[in-house]
A and B are shown apart, each in its own frame.
Chain A
Amino acid sequence: MTIQETEQKIVDEFSAFDDWLDKYNLLIEMGKDLPLIDARYKTNNHLISGCQSRVWLHAELADDGKVYFTADSDAVITKGIVNLLIRVFSGRTPDEVLTADMAFIDKIGLREHLSPTRSNGLISMVKQIKLYAQVYKLKMNN
């Protein structure tokens, strides 16, 4: 699936629900499937700042030239949100990650989480994901 296809799939999953609580129930469920970060990476170095809940994020560039993300959070809704991002961005080339926009977040009604002050730090997570991609892109070109 392309990034666009994955995003559309997520939008479809959320559009099945009208009620906010059902959408959050879905997020909580998604949090349980989060590809968990290896314990040795769950350190302050991997902590994303700007979040009311703590989020640890790790990235690896595999031999296939794609970036794979793992993460964890101490809040389950945040885990769900991180997992959405990982579904969209993990297993992509650095270029794909760098060019993707975040319109799907708006479409599933999580736009409030995009405001710069929103305490779960979705913006910070996206920034960090793109930063990893940027670094790996430079590495690959060297």
Chain B
Amino acid sequence: MPAQTVFKAEMVRADFPALQQQVFNRPLVYLDNAATTQKPQVVIDRVRDWYEHENCNIHRGVHHLSQLATEAFEGARQYIAGLLNAKHSHEIIFTRGTTESINLVASSFGNKFINQGDHVLISGMEHHSNLVPWQQLCLSKGAILDIIDITSEGEIDLNHYEQLLAENPKIVAITHLSNVLGTINPVEEMIRMAHIRDIPVLLDAAQSVAHLRIDLQKLDCDFFVFSGHKAYAPMGVGVLYGKEEWLNKMPPYQFGGEMVDNVHFEQTVFNELPFRFEAGTPNVGAVLGLESALRYLHSFGIENILHYEDQLLHYAIKRMESTGKIRFIGRPKNHAAVISFLVGDTHPYDAGTIMDKLGVAVRTGHHCAQPLIDLFNVPGTIRASFGMYNTYEEVDILIGAIERADAMLA
């Protein structure tokens, strides 16, 4: 049973070619996994195989290759639907990524269901991708964007959420796992609270798919969006899951090939789900790479990986605390492997630049969540975000880099 086996980064490190390199004559310590993850060889091979042997357009040709490719593509959809426990595979729509998925919902759902004076509810810890589409929608419709408060610990203020739900927003859009603070939000409870009032909920799962077990029917969210590239898959592919009831009521987002059933110069009959929302030739190679990445990830048991990452996170926090120099930004109780911090009084850009020269790839700045950073009244943060292949030794190197940066900048 996978739940009993112990997962360790050493079991998989060799699978990731990009991790084997040196930068500035030092081994690369890649701690920017919240931005994008490295890819295992199986995923790289899958994409290469597609272009070497299988490449052709799908859904249209009667020829042999086209049929095989269509089967592979639809097979990926079915696999993902099964893995995430969607009710129907046609509820899985392939997009370019999280950002496109959210824009699709904001545009299509928004145009149909949101009118002047309506409310839309998001939290104060959203990535710009789950903020700006809603903000622009509200601006164009004369609707009102409400923002749920974030506590000083970096958690969603559920009392405030309850208050704002009383405005009966047309939709709630919240992040499952914060890319800045690592907070795992109590989304099941938040979805339940919204559903009591028949309000649909969109989950921005860009960060969660690589770390958490997802059960869409249990979560019961109405929309669920993520990007492949943050879960060991290629860039350029993502998913929009939507409940059939909603998707069927929503107008198409883009128009063109494949999403149509019947076209005349005067009018067009649109295709059924999921094709109605997949205009144009999809990134088939990346979709197949996504399937292969998720198969790879889950072959170790995602709970085992989460358990390992959790221990690694707490080791990192403990070591960082013991330097006496770290200011943590956000200390959520339910915390995934993302840490935002500052080194003493130094500017995050300074410390991050020096850490980079020591081979430690961390991200500095506002992490595409400027309003959240402003709440904490800092110029930005340094963010270390971990993946399945990060080791305890790498945490030690991170600590060494922090000490060194502190010594140089003090």
Contact partner of B408 (CB less than 8 A), chosen from A24, A54, A78, A120, is A24
Find out whether the CB atom of B379 lies under 8 angstroms from the CB atom of A77.
no
Give B366's nearest chain A residue, CB to CB. A52
CB distance from B290 to the nearest CB of A (A): 27
Find out whether the CB atom of A75 lies under 8 angstroms from the CB atom of B347.
yes
Across-interface contacts of A24 in B (CB, < 8 A): 353-354, 357, 408
Count of residues in A whose CB is under 8 Å from the partner chain? 15
Across-interface contacts of B346 in A (CB, < 8 A): 76
- Assembled-state Cα–Cα distance A78/B379 (Å): 14
- Assembled-state Cα–Cα distance A70/B99 (Å): 41
Find out whether the CB atom of A53 lies under 8 angstroms from the CB atom of B408.
no
Find out whether the CB atom of A21 lies under 8 angstroms from the CB atom of B357.
yes
Across-interface contacts of A53 in B (CB, < 8 A): 347, 349-350, 379
Considering only residues 302-359 of chain B, those with a C-beta below 8 Å from chain A are: 346-350, 353-354, 357-358
Find out whether the CB atom of A76 lies under 8 angstroms from the CB atom of B364.
no
Mark contacts of B396-410 with chain A using CB atoms, 8 A cut-off: 1 yes-contact digit, 0 otherwise. 000000001000110
CB distance from A115 to the nearest CB of B (A): 14
Most buried by A among B350, B357, B365: B350
B110 at the interface (CB under 8 A from A): no
Contact partner of A77 (CB less than 8 A), chosen from B350, B365, B404, is B350
Considering only residues 96-128 of chain A, those with a C-beta below 8 Å from chain B are: 119-120
Across-interface contacts of A76 in B (CB, < 8 A): 346-347, 350, 409
Across-interface contacts of B357 in A (CB, < 8 A): 20-21, 24
Considering only residues 41-91 of chain A, those with a C-beta below 8 Å from chain B are: 52-54, 74-78
Give B380's nearest chain A residue, CB to CB. A52
Find out whether the CB atom of A21 lies under 8 angstroms from the CB atom of B347.
no
Find out whether the CB atom of A75 lies under 8 angstroms from the CB atom of B358.
no
B265 at the interface (CB under 8 A from A): no
CB distance from B327 to the nearest CB of A (A): 16
Give B357's nearest chain A residue, CB to CB. A20
Find out whether the CB atom of A20 lies under 8 angstroms from the CB atom of B379.
no
Contact partner of A52 (CB less than 8 A), chosen from B24, B354, B364, B409, is B364
Give A27's nearest chain B residue, CB to CB. B353
A28 at the interface (CB under 8 A from B): yes
- Assembled-state Cα–Cα distance A54/B379 (Å): 9
Across-interface contacts of A21 in B (CB, < 8 A): 354, 357-358, 404, 408
Find out whether the CB atom of B408 lies under 8 angstroms from the CB atom of A52.
no
Find out whether the CB atom of A78 lies under 8 angstroms from the CB atom of B349.
yes
CB distance from A121 to the nearest CB of B (A): 10
Across-interface contacts of B353 in A (CB, < 8 A): 24, 77
Find out whether the CB atom of B24 lies under 8 angstroms from the CB atom of A77.
no
Mark contacts of A1-38 with chain B using CB atoms, 8 A cut-off: 1 yes-contact digit, 0 otherwise. 00000000000000000001100110010000000000
Contact partner of B365 (CB less than 8 A), chosen from A20, A52, A54, is A52
Query: Given the known A-B contacts A28-B408, A28-B409, A119-B365, are A52 and B358 also in contact in the complex, defined by CB atoms under 8 Å?
Result: no
Query: Given the known A-B contacts A28-B409, A52-B364, are A119 and B349 also in contact in the complex, defined by CB atoms under 8 Å?
Result: yes
Give A20's nearest chain B residue, CB to CB. B357
- Assembled-state Cα–Cα distance A21/B359 (Å): 11
Find out whether the CB atom of B408 lies under 8 angstroms from the CB atom of A20.
no
15 more A-B residue pairs beyond the given contacts A52-B348, A54-B379, with a C-beta to C-beta distance below 8 A: A24-B354, A24-B357, A24-B408, A28-B409, A52-B364, A52-B365, A74-B347, A75-B349, A75-B350, A76-B347, A76-B409, A77-B350, A77-B353, A119-B364, A119-B365
11 CB < 8 A contacts A-B: A20-B24, A21-B354, A21-B404, A24-B353, A24-B354, A25-B408, A74-B347, A74-B379, A76-B347, A76-B350, A119-B349
Which residues in A have some Cβ–Cβ distance to B below 8 Å?
A: 20-21, 24-25, 28, 52-54, 74-78, 119-120
